[in-house]
């Protein structure tokens, strides 16, 4: 799990152009949206693409996104549970 | 009514000039991306969204940022009477190609939403308008090269019809490592909100724009 979390942080910094950040700057349990990393709706779409492109996981119901993308850790747990 | 150039700013060859004087230069930076990032930091711009913009928007955004440094346009003119009119040669071609690369292969069809939103040159003007809260005329026109007549005619018309009382206009061109911008801050001479005309003000007319572009002024 910790390896996956580390990998996700690197991928997220790259796809979301968070150029000022290092993986160590991101708290695995902090909220990604709102007061956390301050991501926006376009970033949310980018995370959906990341899951599909890098992990082959398609989110069928967009309502699930709120729970899945709450933090890096919830993303990692979702990937672990759903990756074939 | 006569229009005057209150200030102008150019970004070309790793150098940023304001009213013909160098404000930042970093010729050692290799390529556009590194240069524009170094310039962003030099001017202590605090706008994290900058990093998410495509290269064209970064160039346009920073050009406006430097041009308006120390100016208080939004305090002087109604925001709905302040506009931004830009011209450009390559449109959003660089990010268009990047987007195309993500959709050309049906087996690997992963369009990037953050690329897609920049596949219009108007977004560059929109980014600057959002940052500075301009709500007046907002236009990007495509021309083969720097076209002083075009920039003058469209801007002049917007003032004559009463749409604008102040405007940022000019040329912002970028494709890969080829980049060039020249923006003018234009106001109406004699307008109640404009400070008295100074010797440094330059009449806004095509021949002047061309002279500034050719660095003959």
Tell me the pLDDT tens digit for each residue of B46-70. Answer: 898 899 999 999 999 999 999 999 9
CATH architecture of the domain with range B2-92+120-213 = 3-Layer(aba) Sandwich (3.40)
Residue A63 lies in a domain: yes
Report CB contact under 8 Å: B110, A38: no
| Dist CA B82 CA B167 (whole Å) | 5
Instruction: Write out chain B residues lying below 8 Å of A38, CB-based.
Output: 48
Q: How many CB atoms lie within 10 A of CB B192?
A: 7
For B113-127, the DSSP string reads: HHHHTTSSTHHHHHH
A60 touches B at CB < 8 Å: no
| Dist CA B65 CA B47 (whole Å) | 11
Q: Name the token pair of B137.
A: 């005329």
Residue A46 lies in a domain: yes
Interface of B with A (CB under 8 A): 37, 48, 51-52, 110-114, 117
Residue A23 lies in a domain: no
Tell me the pLDDT tens digit for each residue of A21-68. Answer: 899 999 999 999 987 777 888 999 999 999 999 999 999 887 888 899
State the pLDDT at residue B69: 94
Report CB contact under 8 Å: B114, A20: no
CB B67 within 8 A of CB B128: no
Instruction: Write out chain B residues lying below 8 Å of A16, CB-based.
Output: 52, 114
Place of tokens 């330059």: B202
Q: Name the token pair of B215.
A: 């660095």
Least confident of A13-22, B39-48, B157-166: A13-22
Selection from B201, B163, B161 nearest residue B78 by Cα:
B163
A16 touches B at CB < 8 Å: yes
Residue A7 lies in a domain: yes
Tell me how many domains chain A contains: 1
Selection from A32, A31, A26 nearest residue A9 by Cα:
A26
Instruction: Write out chain B residues lying below 8 Å of A49, CB-based.
Output: 110-113
Q: How many CB atoms lie within 10 A of CB B78?
A: 12
B69 Cβ neighbours under 8 A, 6+ residues apart: B18, B43
- For chain A, the first-to-last Cα distance in angstroms comes to 16
Domain boundaries, chain B: 2-92+120-213
Report CB contact under 8 Å: A49, B112: yes
Report CB contact under 8 Å: A20, B52: no
Which domain covers residue A64, as residue numbers? 2-18+30-82
CB B7 within 8 A of CB B163: no
Percent of chain B with pLDDT over 90: 83
Residue A52 lies in a domain: yes
Residue A24 lies in a domain: no
| ipTM for the assembly | 0.80
Q: Identify the sign of the CA torsion B23, B146, B13, B57.
A: positive
Q: How confident is the model at residue B200 (pLDDT cuts 50, 70, 90)?
A: low
Residue A36 lies in a domain: yes
A25 touches B at CB < 8 Å: no
Report CB contact under 8 Å: B114, A53: no
- What's the CA angle centered on B168, arms B127 and B72, to 5 degrees? 85
Q: At A42, which CATH number?
A: 1.10.1200.10
State the pLDDT at residue B121: 97
């Amino acid at each position: 799990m910790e390896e996956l979390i580390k990998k996700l942080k690197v991928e997220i910094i790259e796809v979301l152009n968070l150029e000022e950040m290092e993986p160590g700057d991101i708290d695995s349990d902090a909220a990604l949206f709102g007061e956390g990393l301050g991501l926006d709706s376009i970033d949310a779409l980018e995370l959906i693409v990341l899951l599909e492109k890098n992990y082959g996981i398609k989110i069928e119901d967009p309502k699930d996104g709120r729970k899945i993308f709450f933090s890096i850790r919830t993303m990692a747990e979702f990937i672990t549970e759903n990756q074939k | 009514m006569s229009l005057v150039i209150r200030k102008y700013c150019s970004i070309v060859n790793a150098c940023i000039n304001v009213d013909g004087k160098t404000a930042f230069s970093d010729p050692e930076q290799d390529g556009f991306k590194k240069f524009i990032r170094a310039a962003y930091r030099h001017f202590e711009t605090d706008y994290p969204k900058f990093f998410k913009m495509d290269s064209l928007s970064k160039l346009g955004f920073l050009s406006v940022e430097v041009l308006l440094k120390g100016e208080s346009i939004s305090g002087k003119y109604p925001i709905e009477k302040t506009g931004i009119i830009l011209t450009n040669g390559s449109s959003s071609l660089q990010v268009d190609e990047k987007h195309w690369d993500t959709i050309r292969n049906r087996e690997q069809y992963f369009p990037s939403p953050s690329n897609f939103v920049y596949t219009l040159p108007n977004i560059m003007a929109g980014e600057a308008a959002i940052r500075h809260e301009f709500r007046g005329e907002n236009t990007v026109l495509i021309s083969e090269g720097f076209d002083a007549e075009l920039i003058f005619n469209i801007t002049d018309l917007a003032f004559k019809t009463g749409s604008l009382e102040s405007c940022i206009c000019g040329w912002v061109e970028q494709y890969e490592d080829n980049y060039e911008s020249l923006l003018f801050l234009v106001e109406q001479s004699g307008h109640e909100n404009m400070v008295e005309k100074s010797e440094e003000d330059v009449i806004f007319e095509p021949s002047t724009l061309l002279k500034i572009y050719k660095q003959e002024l």
